[in-house]
Structure formats: C-alpha cells, structure tokens
Amino acid sequence: MADNGVPSVVYDTLIKEVNSHLDLLHRYVALRKKILGLKDLQMWDMYVPLTGKPSLTYNFDQAKEEAKKALAPLGEDYLKHVDYIFNNRVIDVVESKNKVTGAYSGGAYDTDPYELLNWENNVDSLYTLVHETGHSVHSWYTRNNQPYVYGDYPIFVAEIASTTNENILTEYFLDHITDPKTRAFVLNYYLDSFKGTLFRQTQFAEFEQFVHEADAQGEPLTAETLDKFYGDLNQRYYGDAVEPGGDIAKEWARIPHFYYNFYVYQYATGFAAATALANKVVHGTPEERDAYIGYLKSGSSDYPTEIMKRAGVDMTKPDYLEDAFKTFEKRLDEFESLLNA
C-alpha cells in the first residue's frame, strides 16, 4: 500500500463497512437458499444460476451499438474514442484455435489500446466488451494527456474505469427493460458481481491480513491453523443459511492471489467506487461527469487516492461504500419483489 501512497485508513474503512453490512449478504444468501429449495445450502450453490438464460442476445455489431447507447452519459468526447476502438480493427473478436481464453485490454504508450475478446452472442460478452473498452479509453486518455513517465496507472484505479462502465450498462438496462424475467436476470447479474467482488475480495483481504499478522507474531502457519481461520471467516461472511463445515475451509490453498503482494482489497474498493461513480455519471451533473473524465486523464500523475478525490470519491471515508451498499440493497429489494410476484 505504501508504494502507491494508499493510507491504511482506506483498507480499515473497507473492512469496517463491509462487516457492518454483512446482513445484506446474509439476506441474499438466504434468498438463494429459498429460491433453490434447499435444506442444506453449500458453498458450491453460490454459483448455481437463479434466473435462467435471458432473452438478451447480441452479435458483435449489435453489441457495439448497444454499448454506445449505454455509455452515452459519459459524453460525446468519450463516445468518440469508443467509436474509434469499435471501428478501427483494434479488437481481436472471435475465438480461434490456440487463442488465449478470457479478455483483456493492452497496448503500449504510443500504440492504440488493443483488446482481446472471445466473443459469444450473449449478454456476458456485452458486459465484457464495455468492461475492456473502459480500460481502453482509460488508457487512451492517460497516454494522450500524460508524459511517458506518468503514462500508466496502478491497479488501484485501473479496475474502477472498467467496472464503472459495467455499472453504467446495468443502469441502462434497468432504465429500458420492462420484462420482469429479463429485469430479474440483470438484477441478479449485478448482485452476484457485488457478492463476488466487494464481499468476497474483502473476505480474501481479511484472510491475507491474518496470515501476515500471524507470521509477524511468530505463529506457525500450519494447514490446520489456516483451515480453521478461513472456515470461520467464510461462515461469518455467508451466515447461518450456509451449512457449516465442509471442504470450503481448504479454499485458501487454491487462491493464487494469496501468493502475490497484498492487493486483493483493491478489487473491493474499486467495485464500490465504480458503483458510486456510475451513479454520479448517469444521475449527476455535467461537472461530476467532467470530474470522472479528469480521473481517466490523470494516469499516475498523483497518488491514486488523490486522483479519486478529484473524481468525487474520497476513499478514506465510508461514504462511497455506503452508496454502494444502498444500491445493492435497492436492487436486492426489487429482485426479491420480482421473484415473489
């Protein structure tokens, strides 16, 4: 954290706020148990689809048009760069033999921002397209407004640009879709993303903190010690609706993030900041949108928390996290009412 000038209060505030809102996760998990009709909900049931496949399908050309409509609140200048990315052969779209899986945005300081996709005609691919385009436009703004020495950006701010685009797409869908089944799918897509990013990555961060502190105190880090802490931590996060015990206590052994530097908390802070910023872009003032574009142009010209303050999110305070949890609760309320109806 010190390398990027991130004050420890950013991490401490995240842990405090997430723990004070675990009741929302418990409520969502209990709703899952009810929908699936299970007497003993296991952790693998967290990944079972709840709403089936939606009626939303897009080929690549249709997805580009839908993405531009959704991202319109970001303004004409932003859309100009989106249009360039979509129409100048900088996206490797289709799957092919020996092509790497997944998706990413890359390039160098003096090149276009290139994207790799593995396109399927579904809503997941549309979300991936706006996510990676968020990275690409962030890169374009940074490289064209900063000298080479500041022409990149740390992970702390990188995922905010991409996830803000995802949140703006969700806002667009919820503003335009009236079919109850499709709305339920979009709402659940957001709730699962929130669960898997803000809650789960904070859980990971707490485990990392325990490991480092135990090591610093000279405590032996045996498999039994790690199993016990991780199992108890998982139970605290997911609540009484999940059957206690089982092999989930060993999950720590397969999570690669724990073997890197201390960074997973940034996925959680980034997701929360993106939720707050998307609300400002879509429902706020032109000045708030311009402040967001200013963040995209900043690169690494200042410490990331200072850049985010100028964008409208002070990550040393709990406000942005509280905004995110309000959005989660609002969408959980609607999802529950749709299912009851």
**Residue pair 114/90 in contact by the 8 Å Cβ criterion:** yes
Structure tokens at 35: 């929908």
CB 168: neighbour CB atoms within 10 A? 24
Radius of gyration of the chain (CA): 20
**Using alpha carbons only, what angle is made at residue 136 by residues 130 and 141, rounded to the nearest 5 degrees?**
125
- 175: enclosing H helix or E strand: helix 155-176
DSSP state of 126: H
DSSP string, 190-248: HHHHHIIIIIHHHHHHHHHHHHHHHHHTT----HHHHHHHHHHHHHHHH-TTBPP-SGG
Q: Which residues are annotated as catalytic?
A: 132
**Residue pair 242/42 in contact by the 8 Å Cβ criterion:** yes
**Residue pair 64/79 in contact by the 8 Å Cβ criterion:** no
Q: Which residue's entry shows tokens 């209060």?
A: 9
Amino acid identity at 12: D
**104: β partners:** 116
Amino acid identity at 51: T
**91: β partners:** 115
